[in-house]
Structure 1
Amino acid sequence: MDAGGGDGGGDGGRGRGPGPGPALAVHGALMAASGGSRLLVARYREPGDDGLFVYDCISAEKTTLENKGQDGKPTDKGSDDILAFAFSPSGNYFALTDDSKRLILFCTQPSWERVSVRSVSRRCTSLVITAAEDKILVADKSGDVYSYSIIEPQANGKLELGHLSLLLDVALSPDDRYIITADRDEKIRVSLAKAPHNIVSFCLGHKEFVSKILVIPNYPDLLLSASGDSTLRLWEYKSGEEVYCCHLSSICEPETTKTDQKYPVSRITYCCQGGYVAILCVCISTVYIFHLDAIARQLVHRQQISLKQKIWDIAFEETGNLWILEEDSEAPLQLYRPCDGEWKPVFDDKGLQKMSKYLQDNWTVFQGFVGAESHYSSLYKASFDNMAAYLQKKEERLQQQKKKKQDLHGSNGQTKKLKTEESSSL
């Protein structure tokens, strides 16, 4: 299958970290969707039909990988489910990692071809390909970022930097000068790519895990982040300065009756044409669209699209078209097109019809995720009141001591009474 050309649409599918669920990415004429161990890719915007490219990670080589990892230690067998994937900026390369600790690189031109299969030390959470298209940066659950050469597709990875917490996302500045990483401990770290031990800044302010980060392509000094604390924040990341904070509860609460609802963001997608941001919260079947006012350094809420079915993922085209992958075997894809400043559903689009048919015919890829719970809930840390527990235990000890004194006093009084009665009888 010919991969097609184009300079990438929206965020170009860079750094997609689907985790254990279905995911979607759009780049130029290509659309990629994953579910479980399988990847589905097709050209949806080109005339003719080159067919659907299907790759199953179960078929990847295991003979040299299943016994030892990159660190030489035995590795446990994974499920082969795809955990993260990304297109390169030009779309000429595509990389994915799976639950069996493999990094798989594809070349998309002139047709899809698997280039290499390499082992990684730990299960990965996110990956991104450099603008120079010479390296793949992979973030893993142990808090490390490794780089893997594209020029030498069989070479082992190189440790670039490490956190003391699970990494949830990794991003690059458009000029490849900075590596930005986000972790479970509320931190966003900005490092020099050429010397990752050199920390440029920390973007601190989130109160829960940082789930997604995105450097704004046409405003490369700005970083957008989302967190389990139900906020979207805009940063001038080189200085670590927060310039805007949006509390999602003020926008999302009309959609739910729960007053203590949390809104962790599972996806951020951006469209340079118009400067639009779309986000997806794991707890609500609604897509929220914002306009980025780069001069005022703020996000303006524009629209929300609510669907009856659970939404798995979203992706912008470079034209502003918004694709939605949802939990519906009859209509797995929805397409919304901007018209007079508002996104409206489209039904007669040939690309939509083509890709919907492909996904319907391969619905078994997604079947196991229907009704599944989000993995984001496990990222919240258990909280408890130490002082309240201490005071309660202290009160219990005081009551026990008081009771013992009362019991002792009562027994002493009884003993004296018995002695008095014995003396009287004598």
Structure 2
Amino acid sequence: MAAVHFCGDWLVCVCDRRLLAVHSSQDRAPFELDCASLEKRLKKVEGESENPSESECGSDQILAVAPSASGTLLALSDDSKRLVLLQRDPTWTVLSVRWLPRRCTALVFARAEDRLLAADKSGDVYSLSVKEPTQEPVLQLGHLSMVLDVTVSRDDRFIVTCDRDEKIRVSLSRSPYNIQSFCLGHQQFVSALLSPCGSPHTLLSGSGDGTVCAWDMETGRRRQTVDLREHGTPREEAEEQRLTVSRLCSSPDGAHVAVLCERHMEIQLLSLEQAEGGALLSPHSRLPLSHYPLDLTFDPSGRLWVLMNCTESPLLVFSHTQGSWEQLDALSPDLSRVSPAFKTFWDAADESQRSSSRLEHLYVETYDNVSEYMKKKQQRLEQQSHKRSREHSREPKQPKKTKAQSKAEANGS
């Protein structure tokens, strides 16, 4: 996994088992964290001592990361089922290390920043206290399939989750066993959720079906569907290209939404405009790229930072000026301040980890069994007909009996 986020003015990048935080506007020492150096959870084996020497094995690969709304806290979870909580100021500090019941697929802070929500592959979502790290995770809700993303509404009233079975569930935050609504309509797994700035009742979702939908969170009514294929780069007729939405990100003012599709050399930017009945999306611009983008994020001033699968230029920055998005020069102050530490971090990263697909295996493949059955049945009928015709041709021809012969044989019998 490779991802970027802004935690205040700090650019945070994770890849494989390592994390790097670099200040984008001040000359401050970068912060690095290797999950392999964190404490391990000891195995509990029946009949052994309370302090066995063997620890639970895991690759330490970071699976999910989330900053708080204020940018003062950062949480990450790894393949060893650890949940690490970090504080940004005055210096980067690890506040707590605790363990989840299962490996995490998505993390999000509540807006009040008093708890964390962690979703896992089994479909469960747990709540963890920020201020009381010794408290055990509390089960909040569950799906019947893998939860791929989780978010909260701007007013903290709702917890929104999505899964592999095309469902989006809106639950009451105070009592998550009460379902407010279901948002149904995607044709493939729902991979990304966003509660955009400035639109407290609007929910945006991205899917493996190549669409972005806008929903009324309280009623579950779909307001709009944007098919990214209609606004993307034309493709050759002979090729079939899947557009898998892997990330939705809103600018700080809520005016723009950046859409990232897995293994697609383009970023689509949509405008989010307030209209009667709720916010609506409209295509704004496309940013063609020379390599595959891995992740993206907006900084506090509204610039778009893109993490690329490229060794020479792994970071690109775009600024919105005079109605269009323009790429900043590599010598711009903020990018040149971040680049040295980031380049060292990126060169040491495992290339296979930063280029691996996270969502490709989630597609539901369909098979036309009826047409295949009918084809085989027709082949069997033709073979049987051909066999009967050959047998008939081998039989000796008997002379046709006259009526008198047939009558004589009857009288003789």
* Letter of the 1:141 counterpart: K
* 1:311 maps to 2:293: yes
Aligned to 2:372: 389
What CA deviation, in whole Å up to 9, does each residue of 1:9-39 have, x standing for no partner? xxxxxxxxxxxx2110013211100010000
Give the structure 1 partner of residue 113 of structure 2: 133
Report deviation, 1:223. Answer: 0.5
Would the aligned equivalents of 1:142 and 1:165 in 2 still touch at CA under 8 Å? Answer: yes
Secondary structure in 2 aligned to 1:319? coil
Structure 1: how far apart are the matches of 2:41 and 2:255? 47
Contact 2:125–2:142 (8 Å) recurs in 1: yes
In structure 1, list runs of 5 or more residues that go unmatched: 1-20, 69-73, 417-426
Deviation at 1:375, TM superposition (A): 2.8
Deviates more, 1:102-111 or 1:238-247: 102-111
Is 1:369 equivalent to 2:349 in the alignment? no
User: TM-score, with normalisation over the residues of structure 2?
Assistant: 0.87
| Partners of 1:181 and 1:75 in 2: CA distance | 32
- Give the drift of 1:298: 2.3
Q: Distance in 2 between matches of 1:89 and 1:363?
A: 26
Partner of 2:342: 359
**Bigger Cα Rg:** 2
Deviation at 1:396, TM superposition (A): 4.7
CA shift digits 1:273-314 (9 cap, x unpaired): 261111111132211111111216421211111221221111
Q: CA deviation at 1:254?
A: 2.1
State the SS of the aligned residue for 2:359.
Answer: helix
Q: Do residues 55 (structure 1) and 33 (structure 2) align?
A: yes
Give me the CA root mean square deviation: 2.6
Distance 1:385 1:259 in 2: 21
In structure 1, what is the Cα distance between the partners aligned to 2:41 and 2:188? 40
| Identity level (%) | 38
1:242 and 2:227 matched:
no
- Conserved in 2, the CA contact under 8 Å of 1:22 and 1:369? no
- Aligned residue type for 2:105: T
Q: Deviations over 1:326-368 (max 9, x none)?
A: 1222322111111101111222332211211111122244342
Tell me the number of residue pairs that the alignment of Structure 1 and Structure 2 aligns.
Answer: 389
1:339 aligns with 2:321: yes
Matched, 1:32 2:15: no
- The question of whether the paired residues in 2 share the 8 Å contact of 1:22 and 1:366 is answered with no
Instruction: Please give the residue correspondences for 1:262-277 in structure 2 after superposition, counting only pairs within 5 Å.
Output: 262-273=242-253, 275-277=255-257
Q: Is the Cα contact below 8 Å between 1:313 and 1:324 reproduced in 2?
A: yes
- TM-score between both structures, scaled by the size of structure 1: 0.84
Q: Gapped runs of 5+ residues in structure 2?
A: 47-53, 399-413
Query: Cα gap change, 1:374/1:117 in structure 2, threshold over 3 Å: closer, same or farther?
Result: same
Residue 85 of structure 1 corresponds to 65
Cα 1:178/1:224, change in 2 over 3 Å? same
Does the aligned pair in 2 maintain the 1:106–1:115 contact within 8 Å? Answer: yes
Instruction: Please tell me whether the aligned partners of residues 42 and 55 of structure 2 are also in contact (alpha carbons under 8 angstroms).
Output: no
In structure 2, the partner of 1:11 is none
Would the alpha carbon gap of residues 138 and 287 (structure 1) be closer, same or farther in structure 2, given more than 3 Å must change? Answer: same
Tell me whether 112-121 or 134-143 shows the greater mean CA deviation: 112-121
2-structure distance, mates of 1:191, 1:206? 19
User: Judging changes above 3 Å, is the alpha-carbon distance between structure 1 residues 373 and 93 closer, same or farther for their aligned structure 2 residues?
Assistant: closer
Counterpart of 1:389, as a letter, is E
**What pairs up with 1:10-409 in 2 under 5 angstroms?**
21-46=1-26, 49-64=27-42, 77-254=57-234, 259-273=239-253, 275-295=255-275, 297-347=279-329, 348-369=331-352, 372-399=355-382
SS at match of 2:145: coil
